[in-house]
Amino acid sequence: MHDTIKKIPVIGYFWETSFFHYLWTGGFFTIANIALLWVFIDVLHISTLLSGIIVTGGLFIIRYLFYRWFGVM
């Protein structure tokens, strides 16, 4: 069944291991982004603009390193 699903033109890409790594790391970084923004803005009282730049930029670089580490890219 696994081979049959992988042969379907577009759907087959979603059954590859790299997609599942992409899926769980994307979910993890989305939750981390929300949590870190909450900490920076509400707990540490850093301005929203500065917090957004730091958190989004930092997680962007870390996400790239995770994708390279798992071989997704």
pLDDT in tens, 6-40: 666 666 666 677 777 778 888 999 999 999 999 99
d(CA 45, CA 39): 8
Residue 21's Cβ-side half-sphere holds a number of Cα atoms within 13 Å equal to: 14
For residue 41, what pLDDT band results from cuts at 50, 70 and 90?
Answer: very high
**Would you state the pLDDT for residue 51?**
96
Q: What one-character-per-residue DSSP string does 3-26 give?
A: HHHHHSTTGGGGGSHHHHHHHHHH
Query: What pTM did the predictor assign?
Result: 0.72
**Would you state the pLDDT for residue 3?**
66
Residue type, position 60, single letter: F
**Would you state the pLDDT for residue 72?**
67
**Would you state the pLDDT for residue 44?**
95
